[in-house]
Structure 1
């Protein structure tokens, strides 16, 4: 419960800091860079060496990867047909394709399904959502942030993306079944724990409530895709078509229904992909998702 409270407290703090004239106007940019250069690599170095993936969890691991591809196809095709700007398409691909499978996902899944459900959620988040962010996420952000970015430039951005570097190091430790000494693990855990409060304050600093904003329609479409269409697709494929049932499938669908990923918004903002809209996707998406998650939990328990 304290994690949920922290979400709203940090958003409110960031929003109120906008009203302080002496507070630097570029503060959100500094906070975004701290998350990308420090918090996210530390998170990878702490969690990934400990992960054990079995064949039973491949369906879960597919959720963030397939979900991101679906988001890319949906918004890129729709955006081209409707004449959207590349920055708008990139923003919606990132925030509609990556879910908050960790900070919102972990406490929700643990509360509903216990420790066993949490183990599945960690698989979805770390080698799933986190790695998608560090690879495909950076690829999309690089391409849509400017004109025709060259392949070499995009590859360079991915390879030099701090969370990706952290992931590669952590993955090598995992492959060779090593982990860092306990003192370093503690340091990584504490640095990684700064992701949510800092990222949410940065989101709050950019969050605006403009009645006549041109973003309301895109916000509605983005959240409808993330909170309803994405989990509906996985429910249809996994449960209706393949006939899969059980805890792993339930957790997978619930994680597919999570609100947009906080750090996806940070990535979109850092690359100049409609920062206001990306912040709105988080600011409105998280509270709304508690209602839609209740709906999906009811569906899974009833049918």
Structure 2
């Protein structure tokens, strides 16, 4: 329950500050820099240092990739009858084809399945969502936006991302015990991830734009929160992959709301602005209704 309260307080605080305090331009980008370069790496380093890899690791990691493929297929099917522009489809893919498996995923996994399940969520995020976002999504957005991103630059961005460096360091240093002061510092830094992430979302939320983008908003949130996760769960059910706890966590992560970092990537190239921030800003509070239902469907 406390994790849910933190989510709501962070989101409401961001909305209030945007509405009445009028923060300086770029305030959300500054907060996101802390989130991506400090808080998330600290959480990854702490969680992954002592992670136990499940025996069915491939089945666990397949979930975010299957979600990505299913989401793209659904958007391509909807694009022509709904007459969606290419930049709109790309913004939908960037923001919703990859789930918010870290900023919202970690606290929600903690709330519904306990802190002991967070390392599995970190695996899904770092070896699934993170890699998809920083390779396929980043390349797709830059191509559609008309920007050029050489392969060497793409590789540099992926390999030098602080969260990925933290992941590699955590795995390499597994035989080495961390001193108590370092563990405590990492926990404290990682604890800032959730409230500040939701605060950043609130800062970017343009409520009045919902009327103009309601159709795309319904499509994107319907796919992200209901349809695509349902297809993924159905595929796992048909394949006999349900019932294992690690798989349950991976499938629960696929039901998370739209990806903050994906919205940032789309917004940076001005793709269907402000649709990406609307998808996140409306999707996160809405997921507080859908995620409890998914936890009941998936069980423990």
Q: TM-score, normalised by structure 2?
A: 0.81
Cross-structure match for 2:101: 101
Residue by residue, what CA displacement relative to the aligned partner does 1:61-117 show, whole Å, maximum 9, x if unpaired? 22123222333454467558845243x333322321222334544454455555665
Match 2:233 to one of 207, 213, 235: 235
Cross-structure match for 2:165: 165
- Alpha-carbon distance between aligned partners in 2 of 1:75 and 1:179, rounded to the nearest angstrom: 46
1:247 Cα deviation (Å)? 3.5
User: Is contact 1:13-1:201 (8 Å) kept?
Assistant: yes
Cross-structure match for 2:85: 84
- Alpha-carbon distance between aligned partners in 1 of 2:241 and 2:2, rounded to the nearest angstrom: 36
Residue by residue, what CA displacement relative to the aligned partner does 1:43-73 show, whole Å, maximum 9, x if unpaired? 2222222222132243222212322233345
Q: CA 1:184–1:4 in structure 2 vs 1: closer, same or farther (change >3 Å)?
A: same
Moved more, 147-156 or 35-44: 147-156
1:4 Cα deviation (Å)? 0.9
1:218 Cα deviation (Å)? 1.4
1:129 Cα deviation (Å)? 3.2
Q: CA 1:187–1:296 in structure 2 vs 1: closer, same or farther (change >3 Å)?
A: closer
User: Is contact 1:29-1:270 (8 Å) kept?
Assistant: no
Cross-structure match for 1:14: 14
1:234 Cα deviation (Å)? 1.9
Q: CA 1:144–1:198 in structure 2 vs 1: closer, same or farther (change >3 Å)?
A: farther
Cross-structure match for 2:201: 203
Q: 5+ unaligned residues in a row in structure 2: which ranges?
A: none
Match 2:223 to one of 222, 225, 248: 225
- Alpha-carbon distance between aligned partners in 2 of 1:244 and 1:94, rounded to the nearest angstrom: 28
Indicate yes or no: 2:46 matched with 1:46: yes
Q: CA 1:119–1:158 in structure 2 vs 1: closer, same or farther (change >3 Å)?
A: closer
Cross-structure match for 1:281: 279
Q: 5+ unaligned residues in a row in structure 1: which ranges?
A: none
1:204 Cα deviation (Å)? 0.8
User: Is contact 1:138-1:158 (8 Å) kept?
Assistant: no
Q: CA 1:269–1:43 in structure 2 vs 1: closer, same or farther (change >3 Å)?
A: farther
Cross-structure match for 2:263: 265
User: Is contact 1:36-1:163 (8 Å) kept?
Assistant: yes
Alignment of 1:54-69 (within 5 A): 54-69=54-69
- Alpha-carbon distance between aligned partners in 1 of 2:282 and 2:142, rounded to the nearest angstrom: 26
1:282 Cα deviation (Å)? 2.2
Cross-structure match for 1:290: 288
SS of corresponding position for 1:258: coil
Aligned residues: 298
Cross-structure match for 2:252: 254
- Alpha-carbon distance between aligned partners in 2 of 1:268 and 1:51, rounded to the nearest angstrom: 32
SS of corresponding position for 1:210: helix
Q: TM-score, normalised by structure 1?
A: 0.81
User: Is contact 2:44-2:122 (8 Å) kept?
Assistant: no
User: Is contact 2:204-2:281 (8 Å) kept?
Assistant: no
Cross-structure match for 2:124: 124
Residue by residue, what CA displacement relative to the aligned partner does 1:148-181 show, whole Å, maximum 9, x if unpaired? 533333233323433333333334335xx44544
- Alpha-carbon distance between aligned partners in 2 of 1:248 and 1:22, rounded to the nearest angstrom: 43
1:211 Cα deviation (Å)? 6.0
